[in-house]
């Protein structure tokens, strides 16, 4: 589904990704861990097409297509979804109108018919349930004045609405209390299927207790330096990253 | 500019005419006109308040659909009975020229009463040259339900046209009225409207005044609107500027009583080479008043927005609440905004705040929308709509709000 080969990217002349490789198949969950500043969010941004990041080498294929050639909205249309580490507040844009525009644009891109107002509302109601999204949040401007946890919940709600194939969750667990974490993880697990895949960026095992990964990767200094199964995450939690940095240095 | 003073209120007019002869129009050396060069406007040759006829179609094309109430039409500054409908009852709506003869008492009590009106050369020129304008008189206790729309049409099909409408709106005690003012030029030649409107809002009265400036690109407006508010009155001035050559709005509000509310809302959405300059001044003379100003602008291409907001709080005006906010988005390298708040506060127990920002489009927000499948163009439009929406949603006349929303939509998708 996703094939990243030797990906190199920079921002403002600073090289951040330095030859990153990753293969993701349908039905898989990949966790990416790694110290602060390693380039995890950069990877997410490059995948979703942020203009500020310049790809200086390597390739990214998504379902056989070179997605680096596509605009951000086209990548979303192709079925790529990024749950932001820091979702932005957009005053004056109502959550409902935004969601309706997004859902219908994505449907158009996929050659599906636009939803009628009634069908759209029905879909909203359904998906809201999967993440316990209260109606009053939907009625407000997009993320405006939302708590940290509410913003993250809104990201997963949007994911459910847009029906992507590949979901990149960038620290969706940070700032969540235990109940909110369970709700968010539950939303993810409901959406998970053999046809879609997840890349879960996190610092904590806590999330991986709920969203169980098939693979765990360590991203350090712009590269994936170690890969393993879910046991690797437990080891990292216990020992930190220093031993990996030492391994890499040798 | 040339013309003749042929009005019944000759005393005031003659005086102003003489003064105008001896005076110069401001250059950019003048502090108040630093960013707005009117020299090319006043040096241009215009035909002055030329009488002309427009077809019913030409006139109705200028009308804003979906707004109820009476429409009053002026063509080249002269009242057109033929195209106007005056059906609202319980108030007086007529041409000011006529009111000079028939409503002498009210007119004389309010016409040219603002002492500093004649400080401006443009206002002086208006007093000297004006042939006509609208007179609206809402008697005590009367609330007029539907808005009154004023259409000032310039017929510039054959020649450059200058007009000097002079308007007087008097809302007596405890009355209520909404007025919508539209300037529109028909034809390819230049036009200049040198407009003066005096509005008197008596004690407990409510006046909503809207200006819709979506002119031809070769049409200019120099507007001077003077408002005087009595105690416990409400005034809301809304200025929407979308297109024109040079537009200068002077909005001066004197708060002449206690416990009153005064709102100034503005939106300028500019492209091409349109230049819009909003100068506002609110003068708090008595205690316990509240004024609130919000002007927002988006400038694109080579357009320019100028904002200057003055707030005066006199020594006696304790417990004043005065707020001012001017926010701008600059979309292109060649577009410009100049903004300046000017607060002069002599009272000590006041709550005043002001702020102005000039920024670009929020890139983070733009990317967020794009990442959800919405194209860049549409994402931009959504953000700009949201930005402008804060002003647009304050428009209380539904038909007008819809009209403005449609114009903004069209502009943003272009
Ligand atoms: N606009 C920018 N200009 C310069 N450097 C940047 C910019 N944005 C990010 N960086 C740098 O890129 C590096 C990688 O940042 P990134 O956000 O990808 O890290 P991360 O792995 O997600 O870290 P965290 O765990 O803290 O979220 C950091 O050193 C960061 O300072
Ligand atoms: Mg990060």
Categorize the per-residue pLDDT at A245 as very low, low, confident or very high, splitting at 50, 70 and 90.
confident
Q: What angle do CA B142, B147, B149 make, to 5 degrees?
A: 130
Q: Are strands B78-80 and B71-75 parallel, antiparallel or unpaired?
A: antiparallel
* ipTM of the complex, rounded to two decimals: 0.96
How many alpha carbons lie under 13 Å from residue A157 in its C-beta half-sphere? 28
Sort out which chain B residues have CB atoms less than 8 A from A101's CB and list them.
Answer: 374, 378, 382
Q: Which ligand is nearest to the CA of A40?
A: 1
Name the residue facing B371 among A76, A109, A141 (closest C-beta): A76
Query: Which residue numbers of B have CB closer than 8 Å to A's CBs?
Result: 362, 364-365, 367-376, 378-379, 382-383, 385-387, 389-390
Q: Which ligand is nearest to the CA of A11?
A: 1
What pLDDT does B409 receive? 84
Closest Cα in chain A to B361:
A90
Name the residue facing A88 among B365, B385, B387 (closest C-beta): B365
Give the minimum alpha-carbon distance from A156 to chain B in angstroms, rounded to a whole number.
12
What pLDDT does B68 receive? 94
- Best residue for ligand 1 mutational test, from A17, A38, A47 (most atoms within 8 Å of Cβ): A38
CA–centroid distance, A39 to ligand 1, in Å, is 6
What pLDDT does B39 receive? 86
Instruction: List the one residue out of B198, B181, B195, B193 whose CA is nearest residue B107.
Output: B198
In this structure, are residues B255 and B283 in contact, taking their beta carbons and an 8 Å threshold?
yes
Closest Cα in chain A to B364:
A88
- Phi, then psi, of A177 in degrees rounded to 5: -80, 175
pTM of the model: 0.87
**Bridge partners, residue B194, by sequence:** B222
Sort out which chain B residues have CB atoms less than 8 A from A77's CB and list them.
Answer: 373
Q: Name the helix (H) or strand (E) containing B91.
A: none
What pLDDT does B23 receive? 56
pLDDT tens string A86-104? 999 999 999 999 999 999 9
CA–centroid distance, A157 to ligand 2, in Å, is 21
Q: What is the mean pLDDT of chain A?
A: 94
Q: Which ligand is nearest to the CA of A20?
A: 1
What pLDDT does B115 receive? 61
Distance CA A171, CA A33 (A): 10
Distance CA A164, CA A188 (A): 12
A234–chain B Cβ distance below 8 A for any pair: no
Rounded to 10°, the helix A230-239/A242-249 angle is 100
Query: Which structure tokens are listed for B18?
Result: 């003489």
Put simply, the chain A residues between 148 and 167 with a CB less than 8 A from any chain B CB are: 158, 162
Task: Report chain B (414 residues): mean pLDDT per 10 consecutive residues.
Answer: 38 44 79 92 81 93 95 94 90 91 92 75 85 94 96 95 94 98 97 95 98 97 97 98 97 97 98 97 97 97 98 97 97 96 96 94 95 94 93 97 91 73
Q: Is the CB of A48 under 6 A from ligand 1?
A: no
Neighbours of A243 (CB within 10 A): 12
Distance CA B112, CA B226 (A): 10
Q: Is the CB of A40 under 6 A from ligand 1?
A: yes
């Amino acid at each position: 589904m996703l094939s990243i080969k030797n990906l190199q990217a920079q921002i403002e002349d600073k090289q951040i990704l330095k030859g990153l490789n990753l293969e993701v198949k349908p039905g898989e969950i990949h966790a990416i861990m790694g110290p602060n500043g390693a380039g995890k969010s950069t990877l997410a941004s490059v995948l979703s097409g942020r203009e500020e990041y310049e790809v200086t080498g390597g390739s990214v294929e998504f379902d056989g297509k070179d997605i680096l050639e596509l605009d951000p909205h086209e990548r979303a249309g192709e079925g790529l979804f990024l749950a932001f580490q820091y979702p932005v507040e957009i005053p004056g844009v109502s959550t409902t109108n935004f969601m309706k525009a997004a859902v219908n644009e994505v449907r158009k891109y996929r050659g599906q018919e636009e939803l009628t107002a009634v069908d759209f509302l029905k879909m909203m109601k359904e998906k809201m349930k999967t993440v316990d999204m209260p109606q009053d949040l939907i009625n407000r401007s997009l993320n405006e004045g939302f708590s940290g946890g509410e913003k993250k919940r809104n990201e997963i709600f949007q994911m459910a609405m847009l029906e992507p194939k590949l979901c990149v969750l960038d620290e969706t667990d940070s700032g969540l209390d235990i109940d909110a974490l369970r709700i968010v993880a539950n939303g993810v697990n409901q959406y998970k299927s053999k046809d879609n895949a997840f890349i879960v960026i996190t610092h904590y095992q806590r999330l991986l207790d709920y969203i169980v990964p098939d693979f765990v990767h360590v991203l350090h200094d712009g590269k994936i330096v170690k890969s393993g199964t879910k046991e690797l995450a437990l080891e990292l939690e216990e020992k930190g990253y220093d031993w990996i940095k030492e391994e890499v240095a040798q | 500019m040339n013309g003749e003073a042929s009005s019944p209120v000759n005393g005031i007019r003659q005086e102003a005419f003489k003064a105008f002869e001896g005076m110069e129009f401001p250059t950019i050396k003048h502090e108040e006109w630093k960013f707005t060069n009117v020299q090319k406007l006043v040096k241009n040759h215009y035909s002055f308040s030329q009488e002309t006829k427009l077809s019913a179609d030409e006139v109705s094309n200028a009308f804003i659909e979906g707004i109820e109430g009476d429409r009053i039409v002026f063509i080249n500054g002269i009242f057109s009975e033929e195209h106007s409908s005056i059906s609202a009852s319980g108030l007086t709506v007529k041409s000011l020229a006529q009111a000079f003869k028939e409503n002498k008492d009210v007119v004389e009590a309010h016409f040219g009463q603002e002492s500093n009106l004649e400080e401006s050369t443009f206002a002086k020129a208006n007093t000297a040259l004006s042939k006509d304008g609208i007179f609206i008189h809402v008697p005590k206790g009367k609330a007029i339900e539907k808005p009154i729309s004023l259409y000032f049409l310039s017929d510039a099909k054959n020649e450059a046209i200058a007009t000097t409408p002079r308007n007087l709106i008097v809302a007596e005690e405890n009355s209520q009225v909404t007025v919508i003012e539209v300037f529109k030029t028909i034809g390819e030649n230049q036009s200049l409207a040198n407009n003066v409107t005096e509005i008197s809002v008596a004690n407990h009265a409510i006046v909503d005044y809207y200006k819709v400036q979506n002119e031809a690109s070769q049409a200019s407006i120099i507007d001077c609107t003077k408002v005087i508010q009595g105690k416990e009155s409400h005034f809301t001035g809304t200025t929407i500027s979308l297109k024109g050559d040079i537009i200068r709005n002077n909005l001066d509000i004197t708060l002449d009583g206690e416990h009153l509310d005064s709102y100034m809302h503005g939106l300028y959405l500019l492209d091409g080479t349109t230049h819009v300059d909003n100068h506002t001044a609110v003068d708090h003379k008595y205690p316990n008043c509240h004024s609130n100003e919000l002007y927002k602008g988006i400038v694109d291409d080579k357009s320019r927005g100028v904002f200057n907001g003055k707030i005066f709080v006199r020594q006696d005006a304790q417990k004043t609440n005065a707020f001012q906010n001017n926010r701008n988005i600059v979309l292109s390298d060649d577009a410009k905004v100049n903004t300046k708040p000017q607060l002069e506060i002599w009272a000590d127990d006041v709550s005043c705040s002001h702020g102005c920002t000039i920024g670009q489009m929020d890139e983070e927000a733009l990317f967020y929308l794009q990442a959800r499948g919405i194209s860049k163009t549409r994402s931009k439009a959504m953000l700009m709509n949201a930005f402008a929406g804060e002003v647009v949603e304050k428009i209380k006349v539904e038909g007008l709000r819809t009209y403005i929303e449609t114009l903004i939509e069209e502009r943003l998708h272009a």
